[in-house]
Structure 1
Amino acid sequence: MTNAQFKEELIAYSKTIGIDKIGFTSADPFLSLKERLLTQKKLGYESGFEEPDIEKRTDPTLTLSSARSIISIAVAYPAKMKNPPKSKKGERRGVFCRASWGMDYHQVLRDRLSKLEEFIKKQIPHAEMVSMVDTGALSDRAVALRAGIGWSAKNCAIITPEFGSYVYLGNLITSVPIEPDTPLTEQCGSCTKCIDACPTGALVQGGQLNAQKCISFLTQTKGLIEDQYRKKIGNRLYGCDTCQQVCPKNKGIDIHHHQELEPDPEIAKPLLIPLLKISNREFKEKFGHISGSWRGKKPIQRNAILALAHFKEEAALDDLKSLMESDPRPVIRGSAAWAIGKIGREDTKEWLMDALKKEQEEEVLGEIKKGLDLLSKISH
């Protein structure tokens, strides 16, 4: 079989296993990416979730010494939920970003990639391969860009002509030489809608993100959220879709190709108050299969508290009082105290005053004082 025939067979096979788009590139180092990553590091714009070794992130041969080609895959996910539940007074809801709807995409894409590996092994038994989804050393987006999957947009996403930016990406590095595809030209033009709409100004300029300010990153941290970002997080429990939602290239795109990526409305848009009391076991049972659960329940609970404060949801006050007084985690106690002040019911001042006398942790005391300050502003 010729190289060209093998490539055609691989493309045809990929369509039968739920891969929406496939592209190929060489295993040459990503030199322009390296420059950009060094700049990001210098500016302090990294999230800290990345592979720390920039050499590994830009040289595929450090992952697989025999690397000759990289296969990039894209799997499209839905942009709209059928019958989304309404958030209303007394029954306020939070929201997980679209990339966390349905089954954890890491599992979905790993399944597709392992099938590709098996297919390649049957054709070329001596082939060496390493596949990765999101958590590997290489940048999925840099590979997808060079493999012609889509162009690198101003919102730092890969935009495909067929599915917009609503795609999950995965890579397979292999020792098999495969003819590379041609990268697409950037098609954002003069549009800056994503930059203008970013709630925290995390999109510094087209193609440059300060991850430290990105709501998607902030919702995954485990500490107290800085005051300036609390209101901007709104009712987001995990991730942020703003820069995708405003993108004209995503207009009218809503792909429902894969049953396992369909959202369960009660999980993708859950009631907030029950999240405050959810046990570890219940959290695992309900949310364990989605990618948004990877940091555990603490960040989700903290974000739920901020969301209830955002809605000024008085029905949550008793539960927030209970958290402030007896939760073992300082971040949860502190966030609850702040939220009580933010919701702003006059009679809760006594709760905060009592907590101020009993609390030992410095950071929690600071949040109780902020709560009292918010209440005093309301009463004046």
Structure 2
Amino acid sequence: MNIEDLKAEIIAYSKEIGIDKIGFTTADPFVELKERLRRQQELGYQSGFEKGTIEERTEPRLLFPDAQSIISIAVAYPAKMENAPKSTRGDRRGVFCRASWGIDYHDALKERLSKLSDFIKSKETEFTGKLMVDTGELVDKAVAERAGIGFGGKNTLLITPEFGSYVYLGELITNIPFTPDEPLEDSCGDCTICIDVCPTGAIVQGGQLDSKRCIAFLTQVKDFVPEEFRDKIGNRLYGCDTCQAVCPRNRHVDFHLHADLEPEPEIVKPQLKPILKMSNRQFKETYGHMAGSWRGKKPIQRNAIIALGVYKDNTAIDELIEILVNDPRPVMRGTAAWSLGKIGTDAALIAISEAKEREADDQVLYEIDLALNKLEGGAASNAR
């Protein structure tokens, strides 16, 4: 079949299987990206979640020797949720970012890419390909930029003309030399809103992110969250949408095109206190289908503890004391001490003081002392 005719058929078929945008680019190395990644590495801005070497992330033929072109896809996801439950005193709730609404987007896009691959194979028997979504070596955003899906925003996200930045990305490396599409021009202009309002200053400059300061990263680490970031995390259980929510390109953007990506309100904005007592099985049954579950329950529970402290929810004191006293995980005990210190009642002070007498872990003791210093300092200040 003529390659241009095949390309047209692929584009038409992609609409039938729930792909909202599709673009084509070469399998040539991503030369500029390689230099940017090296600079990120030198500055210590990488998250550590990246897969592969810089060469593997920028040279498609190292991953797929027969590579001739790359097909990039985008699938739009919702920006707003109907009937979102309210967070109220005594019934505080956390929130999962929009990219964790619905089923795990890795599964959703891999299913679409697999169908696309099978379709091409049915038309071109010599076709071979390799698909990847997010966790693969290639940088999805860079592929999508070069394929004309959208442009790279200053918030480091891909921004499409139609769907803003609320899109999932994936790609299919192929052995067919499709005609590449033209990239779009950057359109952020002089706007710096995302840089100005980033809660932790993680967007160093337009298009450059210090991943280790990014709340989306911080909510996923399994260790203690540095104290300077805890209040800024707020009630986020997984991810952060601030740099998307403030983007003018996302104003009035809200697409509900795919049932499998629709949020379940009680799941994506859950009550905080029940999360603290969840078993591994309960966590998997409740959240296992979501992208936000990939690191397991530990980070989600720790973030729930932080959120209760930020809310100063004194109805959670008994649960937090139970964690401080009996949880076998130092990160949980230490974070509970911090949270109780934020709540700051007499019961919290007594519980933290008693816990200090029993605690043997140095990091937990550090958190206990931090909480006690704040509580005692506050008491001294109130006495003056």
TM-score by length of 1: 0.99
User: C-alpha distance in 1, partners of 2:349/2:200?
Assistant: 31
**Offset of residue 346 of structure 1:** 1.9
Partner residue in 2 for 1:108? 108
**Offset of residue 125 of structure 1:** 1.2
What amino acid is the match of 2:127?
A: A
Partner residue in 2 for 1:162? 162
User: C-alpha distance in 1, partners of 2:350/2:161?
Assistant: 58
Partner residue in 1 for 2:206? 206
What amino acid is the match of 1:35?
A: E
**Offset of residue 349 of structure 1:** 1.6
Tell whether 2:99 aligns with 1:99.
yes
Partner residue in 1 for 2:195? 195
Tell whether 2:56 aligns with 1:56.
yes
User: C-alpha distance in 2, partners of 1:330/1:232?
Assistant: 22
What amino acid is the match of 2:61?
A: T
User: C-alpha distance in 2, partners of 1:113/1:75?
Assistant: 11
Alignment deviations for residues 107-156 of structure 1 (CA, whole Å, 9 cap, x no partner)? 00000000001001111112110000001110000000000000000000
In the alignment, structure 1 segments of 5+ residues that lack a partner are none
**Offset of residue 371 of structure 1:** 1.4
Partner residue in 2 for 1:233? 233
Partner residue in 1 for 2:13? 13
User: C-alpha distance in 2, partners of 1:132/1:309?
Assistant: 39
How is 1:1-380 mapped onto 2 (pairs within 5 angstroms)? 1-379=1-379, 380=381
**Greater mean deviation of Cα atoms: 341-350 or 353-362:** 341-350
User: C-alpha distance in 2, partners of 1:333/1:123?
Assistant: 58
Taking only aligned residues, the RMSD between alpha carbons, in angstroms, comes to: 0.6
**Offset of residue 280 of structure 1:** 0.6
Contact 1:346-1:375 at 8 Å conserved across structures: no
What amino acid is the match of 1:26?
A: T
What amino acid is the match of 2:212?
A: Q
User: C-alpha distance in 1, partners of 2:210/2:349?
Assistant: 38
**Offset of residue 347 of structure 1:** 2.7
Q: Which runs of 4+ in 1 moved over 2 A?
A: none
Contact 1:224-1:331 at 8 Å conserved across structures: yes
What amino acid is the match of 2:322?
A: S
**Greater mean deviation of Cα atoms: 89-98 or 51-60:** 51-60
**Offset of residue 374 of structure 1:** 2.0
What amino acid is the match of 1:11?
A: I
- SS across alignment from 1:29: coil
- SS across alignment from 1:204: strand
What amino acid is the match of 2:314?
A: E
User: C-alpha distance in 2, partners of 1:26/1:275?
Assistant: 46
**Offset of residue 225 of structure 1:** 0.6
Identity across matched positions, percent: 60
User: C-alpha distance in 2, partners of 1:349/1:149?
Assistant: 55
User: C-alpha distance in 1, partners of 2:321/2:128?
Assistant: 57
User: C-alpha distance in 1, partners of 2:332/2:366?
Assistant: 13
**Offset of residue 157 of structure 1:** 0.3
**Offset of residue 343 of structure 1:** 0.6
What amino acid is the match of 1:88?
A: T
Contact 1:77-1:256 at 8 Å conserved across structures: yes
User: C-alpha distance in 2, partners of 1:358/1:377?
Assistant: 23
**Offset of residue 348 of structure 1:** 2.1
What amino acid is the match of 1:106?
A: H
TM-score by length of 2: 0.98
**Offset of residue 373 of structure 1:** 1.5
